[in-house]
Structure 1
Amino acid sequence: MKDYIYITIGTLLFSLSITLFAMPNNLAEGGIVGLSLLLYFSIGLSPALVTFIFNALLLAIGFKLLPRHMVYKSIINVPLLSFFIYLTEGYGQTIEDTLLAAIFAGLLTGVGFGFIFRAGSSTGGTSIIARMLNHRFGWELTGTNFILDSIIVVFGVFIIGPINTMYTIIALYIGKKVTDYVLEGFDAKKAVTIISPKGQEISKLVLEQMTSSATIFDGYGGYTREQREVIYIVVRSHRLFSLKQLIQGVDPHAFVVVHNVKDVSGGTFFVTQHDHPLDPTTVPDFEQKTESKR
Structure 2
Amino acid sequence: MNHPTVVRNLRIWLPMLAGTAIYAFGIHFFLIPNQFMEGGLTGIALLLNYTLDIPPSYTTLILNIPLFYVGWRYFGGRTMLYTVVCTIALSVFLWLMERCIRLGWIVPFQTEHDFFLATLYAGVTIGTGLGLVFRFGGTTGGVDIIARIVNKKRGLSMGQIILMIDVLVIGSSYFYIAGEMILYTLVMVFISSRIIDFIQEGAYAAKAFTIITDHPEEISKKIGQELDRGATLFHAKGSYTKQAKEVVYCVVYRNEVRRMRILVRAIDPRAFMIVHDVQDVMGEGFKPE
Query: Normalised by the size of structure 1, how large is the TM-score?
Result: 0.82
How far apart, in 2, do the equivalents of 1:69 and 1:270 lie?
28
**137, 145, 163: which is aligned to 2:180?**
163
Are residues 1:98 and 2:115 paired?
yes
Does residue 63 in structure 1 map to residue 72 in structure 2? Answer: yes
Q: Residue 157 and residue 241 in structure 1: after superposition, are their counterparts in 2 closer, same or farther (change >3 A)?
A: farther
Range that drifts further, 126-135 or 19-28: 126-135
Partner of 1:210: 227
Residues in 1 aligned to 2:83 and 2:286: alpha-carbon distance in whole angstroms: 37
Identity %: 32
Q: Which amino acid aligns with 2:42?
A: V
Once the 2 structures are TM-superposed, how far is the Cα of residue 136 of structure 1 from its aligned partner?
4.0
Q: Compute the displacement of 1:13 (Å).
A: 0.9
Q: Verify: 1:123 aligned to 2:140, yes or no.
A: yes
Match of 2:196 in 1: 179
Instruction: Specify the alignment match of 1:199 in structure 2.
Output: 216
Q: How does 1:1-294 map to 2 (within 5 A)?
A: 1-2=9-10, 3-89=12-98, 90=101, 91=106, 92-95=108-111, 96-184=113-201, 186-267=203-284
- Whole-angstrom distance in 1 between the partners of 2:213 and 2:136: 44
User: Which one-letter code corresponds to 1:75 in the other structure?
Assistant: V
Give the SS at the match of 1:146. helix
Tell me, yes or no, if the aligned pair for 1:193 and 1:231 is still in contact at 8 Å: yes
Q: Whole-Å Cα distance in 2 between the matches of residues 49 and 169 of structure 1?
A: 25
- TM-score by length of structure 2 reads 0.84
Amino acid at match of 2:88: P
Report the equivalent of 2:6: none
Cα offset, 1:258, TM superposition = 1.1
Mark the structure with the bigger radius of gyration: 1
What is the letter of the counterpart of residue 172 of structure 1?
V
Q: Following the alignment from structure 2 to structure 1, what is the Cα–Cα distance between the partners of residues 74 and 194? A: 28
1:107 to 1:32, Cα distance in 2 relative to 1, 3 A: same
Structure 1 counterpart of 2:262, one-letter code? Q
Deviates most, 254-263 or 38-47: 38-47
The alpha-carbon deviation at position 138 of structure 1 amounts to: 4.0
- Note closer, same or farther for the CA distance 1:7–1:214 as it changes in structure 2 (3 Å cut): closer
Unpaired stretches in structure 2, ≥5 consecutive residues: 1-8
Q: 1:114 to 1:270 in 2, by over 3 A?
A: closer
Task: Say which is worse superposed, 4-13 or 191-200, in terms of deviation.
Answer: 4-13
Pair 1:217–1:61, CA change in 2 (3 A): closer
Quick one: distance in 1 between partners of 2:278 and 2:233?
A: 19
Q: Which runs of 5+ in 1 are unaligned?
A: 272-294
- CA positional deviation for 1:230: 0.7
RMSD of the TM alignment (CA)? 2.3
